[in-house]
Amino acid sequence: EPEVTQTPSHQVTQMGQEVILRCVPISNHLYFYWYRQILGQKVEFLVSFYNNEISEKSEIFDDQFSVERPDGSNFTLKIRSTKLEDSAMYFCASRAGTGGNYEQYFGPGTRLTVT
């Protein structure tokens, strides 16, 4: 069964540095998402992306965050200047968007540690 993949699995960075988290959604899916989960807490929506543009973003997704789909397969999340509170597990998800299927498939996550 096709799966969403993410790299790296763990990223350690210093405060103020830029990071790029990478995701390869399931082929032929049309909708893409980023969520984050601070350790021991619930999963929180960051941003949704469709047709090469952001369709919705949360209040967490401020000017330090950006997303991009640079080619036909990758979907990236960039944090321009990381803060300690950005430390979390970041999950990418994708959804087919056809056939009335609403299921979102999650990737294995990237654990971001900001020191």
Partner 1 sequence: GENVEQHPSTLSVQEGDSAVIKCTYSDSASNYFPWYKQELGKRPQLIIDIRSNVGEKKDQRIAVTLNKTAKHFSLHITETQPEDSAVYFCAASLSGFGNEKLTFGTGTRLTIIP
10-13 and 110-114 beta bridge pairing: parallel
Residues near partner 1 (CB under 8 A), total? 24
By CB under 8 A, tell whether 65 contacts partner 1: no
Nearer to partner 1, 35 or 86 (CB): 35
Interacting positions 20-49 with partner 1 (CB under 8 A): 31, 33, 35, 41-45, 48
CA distances from 16 to 36, 84, 111 (A): 19, 9, 17
Identify the CA nearest to 58 among candidates 66, 46, 76.
46
Stretch that binds partner 1, among 19-27, 60-68, 78-86, 98-106 (CB under 8 A): 98-106
Distance CA(7)–CA(107), nearest Å, equals: 10
Name the minimum Å distance from CB 7 to partner 1.
14
Identify the CA nearest to 24 among candidates 88, 89, 90, 92.
92
Nearer to partner 1, 7 or 81 (CB): 7
Name the minimum Å distance from CB 88 to partner 1.
14
